[in-house]
Every structure is written in structure tokens, then in C-alpha cells.
Amino acid sequence: MTDAGAPANISDDAVPGRIDLGGSPEAAKPYRVLARKYRPASFDDLIGQEALVRTISNAFETGRIPQAWILTGVRGVGKTTTARILARALNYELPDGSVQGPTIHMPVLGTHCQAIMESRHMDVLEMDAASHTGVDDVRQINDSVRYAPASARYKVYIIDEVHMLSTAAFNAFLKTLEEPPEHAKFVFATTEIRKVPVTVLSRCQRFDLRRVEADVLMKHLANIAAKEGVEVEPEALGIVARAAEGSVRDSLSLFDQAIAHAAGTVRADAVRQMLGLADRTRVIDLFNSLARGDIAGAFREFREQYDTGADPVVVLSDLAEFVNFVTRVKIVPATADNVAFGETERLRGRDFAAKLSMRVLSRMWQMLLKGITEVQAATRPAAAAEMVLVRIAYVADMPTPDEAIRMLEQNGEASPVVAASAAPRHAPVPAPGGSSMLSVRAAGSSRGDASPRPQMVAPAPDGQSGPAAALRISSFPQLVALAVQQRDLLTKAALESDVRLVRIEDGRLELALERNAQRTLINDLSRKLEQWTGRRWTVIVSNEAGQPTLRSQNEAAKNQRERAAEADPRVQEVLARFPGAKIVEVRRLAPEPPESEIISEDPAEMPDGDD
């Protein structure tokens, strides 16, 4: 070990990114895990964090160095390591004094580097906020920050898992963090950035460390394997890289374990066995059986994997991951060029992506996602997993609603009644384990809304204002359309559901009120009609029963259309193809009334309100 003020000794077998503990190379050293042995020592050694490195590099070169940084990201992406590299860069000095200020260029170990990277430098203080959460711990930092550093250029405070500090501790930090002495710098690290108060975040420069891509991790692991003299299959590296989920430390820990498990060449089969993963080729075979609707073959393949020790949840999870991979290949074919996936996986993924439709893949994903949750909660996971496979295989060769309708139209003449294939967005994919929802459009039937299409009011003649150009209303649907045109949705809703028409004439309206009608409805309606039409209206409440409300009429018409659609033999055949399906909507295919229809001032030109 070297002192803080003395230059570090570098052994002859030192490698970039690795700091020697010092001493004779021949001396017996305890084994250090790969995650510690190959911990980055400079910005050049960081992988997958190009944005962070570029920003910090520019800040150092221009002298725009903030008083505090906060680093966030998932476990193992390099938050604490980056904090130590920052502390080293801030205090980088060479024995000859050639470096006079902070720099990111650190080709050799400086005076303070080894002590900083080993967390034993007196001016670089590391605190674990998970075990020092109180205000007293922060108060000690506030007291010590006033004193100048003993030997380094800056005092650097590295606080790991800073989100664990109490509210009082955060509040005690605020003043010091906003106006620290010139010789003090703070570096915070956290995996839960949302738990850090905004008052702290606003005083720091924030850096989000990204998950490292699997192909980048593979190259990193391959370089380490070469330095360690370990033979490893590329597919095994891909398995380790994907299992790490973007964490460099996790990948090195898993690789360390794989080397010990293999006791020789690290092979893909050994890594799968170590991680409890199903054989990727067998997962693809299971996917193939499900896609073909071969339930017996899927059962046989699943049972063989289960008998060899594969966990049912893991099998379904790997199956879902492959479905996701095929979907990505279908959308972005270049995904299949990623070397992090095995050659078999890439070749067969391309083949499945070309053959399977997006709807089939989406349906499989939804059913697997729901099935994994069911298997996790089941008392017999294997049996629950088999039932999930039955559902997937059963619907594999079942056409979607629009495909079924298209087949019916191809077998016979084009259906004038059922035309859902013309608008596939109205035919959603059947929900797994539930009833299908079929949207049917019927030609010749009226729309679900009994009121006519909102019509434009005739413009006033030149020189006349809107109210002066009197409008004539002779039917109740025209009155509702006028409320729509005036954008008075409350009045429209009241006319449709709260009143029953007794009779209507131009300037006179007799209504029967529903029990839930507002008391002020009659006065409000009289006033608004006068404003909209330019003449006074008499609106009275009648004792007669009147016609049913427009809403009741609409629902009755809707029920009649659905019964007519259900009686159609083509619709009955579609419903028979999809057990549990039902008609949810019937729409008219006839063209809509033209926009040019208007409410005329001449009663003779008024359209019939019942049309």
C-alpha cells in the first residue's frame, strides 16, 4: 500500500482499468473478483456512458466545474466508480508538478490517485447514506467542509444512496450545498432519484447513467476473458450479457461465477444450467409448436424441459422474451444482426417474423404476460403453465374477426351486411381467456344516434346581424341540432334525456318533463331559443305524456338494429366461429348527409324531422 502523498507503484502485469495494490508481483495476493479487479480508473475505461463522459470532459476543459453532481441509474452501471473518477480528476497531480488544475486526461497514476480509488484518501470522504441517515451525520459534514483540504486540491464528499437520508438531514444539507467553500465538491449517487427532494436536485448537475447495451457488454467480457486467459463461447457471453440487464457489475459477477462453474472453457449450456435458464433452442421449438397450434407437441416439449429442472415461470418468461424478439425483428429487421443473440435465435427469429402476423404475435404476448402472473400465483405451477400453453395453441390457428369475415366474403359473394373487414380497427383481437368483442357494421341501418346530423344554420344576409336573421324551427330534431351548432352541450343533453315532446310549432314548444329534469330548464330554454332564432318562443309544460325521450328512441332503434344483425345468417356464422363473441355495435355504411344541409328560413324547405 502506498501513502496518499507518494506515487503509486504499478506492477509489470498491470492492465488498463486496473490499479495494482502495490508490492511485489511474486507476492501472494488474495483473489479479487472481476468486478473489483477491472473497475474503471479513468473516463476512458467507462463503457456505455458516452454522453456523461462528453459533458464532463467539456466542463473540465472550459473550467465550468459545478459544486455538486448527482449520478442516478440502476445498480451496477458505475455510479460510485464515476464518483471516484471525478474525485481523482479534480485532484489529479503528478510528482513533478506538471499538472496545475483539474483534468480528465490521466494517462498514469498521480500523487493521490491510488488512495482515492481505494477509498482511503483523507480529503475524499465517502459516506454510505443507507447507514448514516440522520441529521447528525450531515452536521459533521457541514462542520468539516469549512476546513481546507490537507494535501489534495479539493475536498470531495461522495455520498452513496443519498435518497436514504432523512428529511431533516436533507434540509441540513441545503445551505452548504448551495454555497459551499471553493475547495469543496459533492458527488451524490442514488438508484431512487424520485426520492431525492427537488431542493437538492436543483443545486446539482444531474447525470443519468444508462444501461449498457448487451453487445457492448459482450465485447467488454470478451476483453476481460482474453486478459484472464479464459476460453469462452460467444453464445455464453451473450447469455451473461442479457442476464445482466445492462448492469456491468452484474455481468462481471455472473461471468466470474460462470468461470468457476465451468472449470475450463465457459460453454453456453453450462451458463444456462448455472442460471437456471431453459435451453434457447428448446424454447424456440416450443414457440414453433405453439405457432402451429400443435398442443400435443407443445405439451411434450414443455414436460421434457420441466423434467430436466426448468422452472415453469422461467420457461414462459423465456418464451415471452422470444416473442418480443420476433416482434422487434418484424418491425426492425436489423435487430436480428445483434450478436448478443445466438445464431440459431437470429435465423429462426427472421423466419418467424416473415411468417407470423403482428396480430398473432401481439396475442401471444398478451396471453403469456397474463399467464406468467397466473403461474406465479398457482399452487401447481407446472399445471398452470400447461393451461397457458393450451390457450395459446388453441387460438394460434384461429383467424382474427376481420380475417374470418374476409374468408366468408371470399367463399361467397361480398356481404352487403357485414363489412368489418373494411375497417379492421373495429375488430379487436380476442382477449385471452375472455370473450371476443366483434364490431359489425350493417349497411342500410341507421346510426346509433337517432338525432339527425348537426346542420349548418343559414348565414344572415349582408348588413344583418345573427339574431336579426330569424330562423324557423319546425321539428324537435332540428332544435337539438341547433343546440349542437351553438355548442351548448348541456342543453342538447337535456333535450335528449330530460324532456318528452308533446308538440312543436315555430315559436311554440310544449314539453313533458322527466323527474330528473332541472327546475330552470323551461326558462333557460325559452331564453336560449330567443337568442338563437331571433324571435320570442313560448315554452310550456304540458300534462300530456308526450313522445318518448330521444335517448329512449335511440336505444330502442339500436336494439332493433342489433336484433336484425343477429338474425342475418352471415353474422350468425361469424359468431359461431368465435365462441363467446357478441355484437357490440352496428353502424351504417351509407354515405352521411352532405355538410351543405342547412336549417332553412322557409318552412317549405324544412326537412322532415322524423327522417
Section 383-412 average pLDDT: 75
> In terms of residues, how long is the chain?
611
- Mean pLDDT is highest, among 234-243, 466-475, 597-606, for 234-243
| 399 has a pLDDT exceeding 80 | no
When pLDDT is cut at 50, 70 and 90, the band that residue 244 belongs to is confident
Section 178-207 average pLDDT: 91
Partners of 509 in the β-ladder: 504, 539
Q: Tens of pLDDT along 58-106?
A: 888 888 889 999 999 888 888 999 999 999 999 988 888 777 778 888 8
Pairing of strands 538-541, 508-513: parallel
Q: Give the chain's mean pLDDT.
A: 77
Section 448-464 average pLDDT: 41
Section 274-303 average pLDDT: 83
Predicted local distance difference test score (pLDDT) of residue 96: 81
Higher pLDDT, 122 or 535: 122
Q: What percent of the chain has pLDDT over 90?
A: 16
| 447 has a pLDDT exceeding 60 | no
Partners of 256 in the β-ladder: none
Burial level of 302, CB count in 10 A (0-12/13-18/19+)?
buried
Section 305-316 average pLDDT: 85
Instruction: Tell me if 235 is assigned to some domain.
Output: yes
Q: Of 24-38, 175-189, 515-529, which gets the smallest average pLDDT?
A: 24-38
Comparing CA positions, the residue from 340, 337, 283 lying closest to residue 308 is: 283
Comparing CA positions, the residue from 212, 207, 208 lying closest to residue 251 is: 212
Predicted local distance difference test score (pLDDT) of residue 19: 46
Indicate whether 606 and 493 sit together in one domain: yes
Indicate whether 438 and 388 sit together in one domain: no
Start-to-end CA distance of the chain, whole Å, equals 96
Task: Report which DSSP code applies to 472.
Answer: -
The beta strand positions in 403-460, using DSSP E, are 437-441, 456-457
| 15 has a pLDDT exceeding 50 | no
Higher pLDDT, 500 or 2: 500
Higher pLDDT, 465 or 149: 149
Is 556 strand, coil or helix?
A: helix
Instruction: Tell me if 172 is assigned to some domain.
Output: yes
pTM above 0.85, yes or no: no
| 431 has a pLDDT exceeding 50 | no
Is 127 strand, coil or helix?
A: strand
Section 290-299 average pLDDT: 86
Q: Tens of pLDDT along 344-367?
A: 788 888 888 888 888 888 888 999
Comparing CA positions, the residue from 596, 21, 472 lying closest to residue 11 is: 21
Predicted local distance difference test score (pLDDT) of residue 5: 39
Which residue is associated with the grid cell 453464445? 235
Last residue of a domain, one of 186, 208, 230: 208
Q: Of 272-286, 369-383, 390-404, which gets the smallest average pLDDT?
A: 390-404
* CA separation, residue 168 to residues 46, 133, 150 (Å): 35, 9, 30
Burial level of 540, CB count in 10 A (0-12/13-18/19+)?
exposed
Indicate whether 434 and 513 sit together in one domain: yes
Amino acid identity for residue 294 in this structure: D
Higher pLDDT, 415 or 307: 307
Predicted local distance difference test score (pLDDT) of residue 397: 63
Section 265-288 average pLDDT: 81
Section 155-164 average pLDDT: 92
Instruction: Tell me if 498 is assigned to some domain.
Output: yes
The grid coordinates of residue 40 equal: 474503471
Predicted local distance difference test score (pLDDT) of residue 398: 67
DSSP string, 447-468: PS--SPPP-EEPPPPTT--TTT
Predicted local distance difference test score (pLDDT) of residue 406: 67
Indicate whether 249 and 151 sit together in one domain: no
Amino acid identity for residue 332 in this structure: V
Instruction: Tell me if 401 is assigned to some domain.
Output: no
**How many beta carbons lie within 10 A of that of residue 171, not counting itself?**
15
Indicate whether 252 and 174 sit together in one domain: no
Instruction: Tell me if 391 is assigned to some domain.
Output: yes
Section 553-579 average pLDDT: 81
36 vs 468: CA distance, rounded Å: 87
Section 399-404 average pLDDT: 64
| 146 has a pLDDT exceeding 80 | yes
Indicate whether 152 and 222 sit together in one domain: no
Which residue is associated with the grid cell 314539453? 511
What number of H helices and E strands is found in the chain?
Answer: 23, 12
Indicate whether 576 and 429 sit together in one domain: yes
Indicate whether 501 and 573 sit together in one domain: yes
Section 5-23 average pLDDT: 42
Higher pLDDT, 409 or 124: 124
Give the chain's domain count. 4
Instruction: Tell me if 38 is assigned to some domain.
Output: yes
Q: Tens of pLDDT along 530-544?
A: 888 887 888 888 778
Predicted local distance difference test score (pLDDT) of residue 421: 34
Supply the CATH number for residue 350's domain: 1.20.272.10
Burial level of 543, CB count in 10 A (0-12/13-18/19+)?
exposed
The H-or-E segment that residue 164 falls in is none
Section 23-33 average pLDDT: 62
Indicate whether 421 and 516 sit together in one domain: yes
Q: How far is CA 588 from the centre of its chain?
A: 37
466 vs 412: CA distance, rounded Å: 56
| 238 has a pLDDT exceeding 50 | yes
Last residue of a domain, one of 250, 275, 300: 275
Q: How far is CA 299 from the centre of its chain?
A: 33
| 465 has a pLDDT exceeding 70 | no
Predicted local distance difference test score (pLDDT) of residue 21: 42
367 vs 370: CA distance, rounded Å: 5
Predicted local distance difference test score (pLDDT) of residue 86: 92
Section 10-33 average pLDDT: 52
Q: 453: domain range?
A: 416-611
Instruction: Tell me if 405 is assigned to some domain.
Output: no
Spatial contact of 7 and 96, defined as CB atoms under 8 Å apart: no
Predicted local distance difference test score (pLDDT) of residue 500: 84
| 163 has a pLDDT exceeding 50 | yes
Section 234-244 average pLDDT: 86
Section 304-318 average pLDDT: 85
Predicted local distance difference test score (pLDDT) of residue 352: 87
Q: Assign 3-state DSSP to the chain and report helix, strand, coil percentages, each to 5.
A: 50, 10, 40
Supply the CATH number for residue 233's domain: 1.10.8.60
Distant-in-sequence, close-in-space partners of 483: CB < 8 Å, separation ≥ 6 = 489, 491, 492, 495, 528
Pairing of strands 456-457, 598-599: parallel
| 10 has a pLDDT exceeding 60 | no
Amino acid identity for residue 28 in this structure: A
**How many beta carbons lie within 10 A of that of residue 209, not counting itself?**
23
80 vs 165: CA distance, rounded Å: 17
Comparing CA positions, the residue from 549, 550, 514, 506 lying closest to residue 530 is: 506
Predicted local distance difference test score (pLDDT) of residue 273: 78
Indicate whether 471 and 511 sit together in one domain: yes
Amino acid identity for residue 397 in this structure: D
Indicate whether 73 and 203 sit together in one domain: yes
Higher pLDDT, 405 or 287: 287
550 vs 544: CA distance, rounded Å: 17
Q: How far is CA 516 from the centre of its chain?
A: 44
Indicate whether 599 and 541 sit together in one domain: yes
Last residue of a domain, one of 275, 297, 312: 275
Instruction: Tell me if 22 is assigned to some domain.
Output: no
